[in-house]
Structure 1
Amino acid sequence: MGEARGWVWSGGREPEQLQLSPLQIPEPAPEEVIVENRAVALNPVDWKVLPSTTLGWQPGHVPGVDGAGVVIAAREKAGIAVGTRVAYHQNLEREGSFATHTKIVAKALHVVPEGVSFAQAATVPCPGLTAWQAIDKLPVEAGRDVLVIGGGAATGNFLTQLAVDSGYRVWVTASERHHPRLRAMGVAGLCDYHDAKWRMGLLDALQRTSGSGNLYAAIDTVGEDHARTLAPLIGYNGHLVSLQGRLNTPPMPGFTTVISLHEVALGAIYRYGSELDWQKLRAAGQGLLGAIAEGQMQTPEIEPFDFEDLGNTLARLKAGRQRGKLVAEL
């Protein structure tokens, strides 16, 4: 079908070792399409998987999970027309989004509405759908107190808005520069995680506002060790949702607050998801994109970068030297 370009992996553990190389545009299988990428978004998982030995990558593999673009080729069983604007979250085991063209199964596509740019659309799949899965874990009890960790990051951006929209009283940790944006989303309170005493301040605020002095749920975006520190903040029959890893041992003694533990792993749907799971995920993606188109939801703050500098930019993300959601437009 012609030539493409992409950033390929040759066994290196570091983002700087990715190389921009010429590629062949692949042919789609019966239920697949070829997307000509117009925007590529970077996510932490993109650098975290580079040292992995369990994904079956061979030298020349193209990484990357999130992209948005136009369908330029589709087989009949794909059920989607050439020319459709789409966003997607790719299977980590398949050739990814760090290229001008990506082959992907049609069921993983989300149609991008008019009024939503490709750059905006590319910010949605990994952080937006992860946030939706996290909120979906909670039995809805409007008015209860929910804590979102890391509201300034892309996933936290979507978590905060979805939690507020679900009717929860939402508390968020974020650095102070994000506070005005988050406050405008309707949160109940903000904590600066640089303050070592933010947990004590949160408990005091909960006591003043609800009288309970504890949370209904906490959603952690940092990791297992950090998630464990949130468990004492959660009240009886509450919920702890972990987006980075899982808690393999209970964080609280038995017969105490009996909180429920939840893990989120968006990419696992490729191996374990049923058709109903895919239907729900597609509906969630369309809902997020539709809300953005209607001005009812904000995408993360976008920090543009040059596709020609993707390897170095991914290294910058790994080092935590970005200020927004890194997106390259092609």
Structure 2
Amino acid sequence: MVELPHEMKAVLLTEVGVDFKLIDACIPVPKLSDQEVLVKIEYVGLTGLDAKFVQQGTPCWQYPRVFGLDAVGVVVAGPKGGHPEVGARVMWHNDIASEGVLSEYVKVPNFALTVLPADINPALAASLPTPGMTALIALYKLQLEEGDTIFIESGNTCVGQLAVQMAYQQGLTVITSSPKQCTTALKKLGAELVLDENETDIGQKIQKHFGYDTVHGVIDMSGKYTNKLLEFLQFCGRISCVSGLATLDETLLFKKAPNIGIVSLPGAWLAKSICAQQRMSFLGNVLTDYLQQEQLCLSEKEVIAFDAVSIYDALIARINGNSHFYQVVKVA
């Protein structure tokens, strides 16, 4: 039995907003309850969801609080004979209502964990839960078939890059938007047509290339242009909204009759649905399979030091749009 310390280093979020604040702290190592394991954190992924919540917060949070949602680490304590076993390396997307993962140790419900095979790079795995699960859920909600056409907004983002690759591997025809400098890279990932995100007539360009009424599904990343995206969706097509639901044009809704799906990873925890939480473990297994089969190409990974200043700077770069890299904090 490994002797555990009584205190640990952590990074706490003390204020949210444009001027959010992170501090370094020393706090007690958490105590376990039934169906929980204690994980020694190795890497924490920073994502667009982290950038959103440091600015907006959520009603279930009290401050100061340990920050962070995605992690990889090694199980160091848990119920005797439980799963996963002590010594297993695990990956997960954390409960938004509980303390975060930017600390040396975290307690986690064992049913939400994905056990990582020994040949998976833990730093790479830590960057995947939020963007990878978001991309998978968005695609599942569209229920598209091989040969269908999908439009993925902002294919240059971490979620977008993964969605492009997954959609291509499902046999879908992939159209995406991005800054011009990302065109070549996205075509290598599987996009057949990459449109400049600043184009005002994206729908016309799609029609010119593929014909009228040919987009069967859309992944709406930002929520800023939902009505425009609906305009070139076929009648009764499907749209997955990653950033919530915008105010929709009622005339357009009558014209298109879209099937609208909302993607919410935190919702699995906030709804207290054990079934939904267990599904996150299943999604983690799907992502692990992608990695083992070398079917995902991830853009450059940025490794960040485990201190409040470095993490703050990394989040600011993401908020300002200066980083679409996969960012991971090296904790141990």
TM-score, L = length of structure 1: 0.90
Structure 2 SS opposite 1:18:
strand
Aligned match of 2:326: 325
Q: Which of 90, 97, 100 in structure 2 is aligned with 1:86?
A: 90
CA shift at 1:35, angstroms? Answer: 1.6
Return closer, same or farther for 1:188/1:124 CA change in 2, 3 Å cut-off. Answer: same
> Which whole-Å CA distance do the structure 1 matches of 2:222 and 2:303 have between them?
24
Within 5 Å, give how 1:67-86 maps onto structure 2: 67-76=71-80, 78-86=82-90
> Which whole-Å CA distance do the structure 2 matches of 1:138 and 1:317 have between them?
28
CA shift at 1:284, angstroms? Answer: 2.1
Q: Which runs of 5+ in 1 are unaligned?
A: none
Aligned match of 1:170: 174
Aligned match of 1:18: 22
Return closer, same or farther for 1:294/1:312 CA change in 2, 3 Å cut-off. Answer: same
- Say what the alpha-carbon RMSD is for the aligned residues: 2.2
Counterpart amino acid of 1:327?
Answer: V
> Which whole-Å CA distance do the structure 2 matches of 1:267 and 1:254 have between them?
27
Alpha-carbon contact 1:84-1:111 (below 8 Å) kept? yes
> Which whole-Å CA distance do the structure 2 matches of 1:179 and 1:54 have between them?
36
CA shift at 1:25, angstroms? Answer: 1.5
CA shift at 1:155, angstroms? Answer: 0.6
Counterpart amino acid of 2:303?
Answer: P
Counterpart amino acid of 1:228?
Answer: N
CA shift at 1:272, angstroms? Answer: 2.7
> Which whole-Å CA distance do the structure 1 matches of 2:278 and 2:60 have between them?
28
Counterpart amino acid of 2:323?
Answer: Q
Q: Which of 135, 144, 149 in structure 2 is aligned with 1:140?
A: 144
CA shift at 1:101, angstroms? Answer: 1.8
Aligned match of 2:218: 218
Q: Does 1:257 align with 2:256?
A: yes
Aligned match of 2:236: 237
Q: Deviations over 1:136-160 (max 9, x none)?
A: 1122322111001111111112211
Q: Deviations over 1:177-196 (max 9, x none)?
A: 33333212222211121334
Aligned match of 2:282: 283
Structure 2 SS opposite 1:261:
strand
Alpha-carbon contact 2:151-2:219 (below 8 Å) kept? yes
> Which whole-Å CA distance do the structure 1 matches of 2:233 and 2:16 have between them?
41
Aligned residues: 325
Aligned match of 1:306: 305
Aligned match of 1:269: 268
Structure 2 SS opposite 1:222:
coil
Q: Deviations over 1:85-121 (max 9, x none)?
A: 1111111111112222222111221112222211110
CA shift at 1:213, angstroms? Answer: 4.3
Aligned match of 2:160: 156
Within 5 Å, give how 1:43-62 maps onto structure 2: 43-50=47-54, 52=56, 54-62=58-66
Counterpart amino acid of 2:325?
Answer: G
> Which whole-Å CA distance do the structure 1 matches of 2:251 and 2:171 have between them?
27
CA shift at 1:13, angstroms? Answer: 2.8
> Which whole-Å CA distance do the structure 1 matches of 2:130 and 2:69 have between them?
8
**Segment drifting more, 26-35 vs 269-278:** 269-278
CA shift at 1:302, angstroms? Answer: 1.3
Return closer, same or farther for 1:115/1:252 CA change in 2, 3 Å cut-off. Answer: farther
> Which whole-Å CA distance do the structure 2 matches of 1:30 and 1:254 have between them?
47
> Which whole-Å CA distance do the structure 2 matches of 1:274 and 1:47 have between them?
25
Alpha-carbon contact 1:12-1:18 (below 8 Å) kept? no
TM-score, L = length of structure 2: 0.90
> Identity of aligned pairs, percent?
23
Aligned match of 1:228: 227
Alpha-carbon contact 2:153-2:177 (below 8 Å) kept? yes
Q: Which of 100, 113, 129 in structure 1 is aligned with 2:117?
A: 113
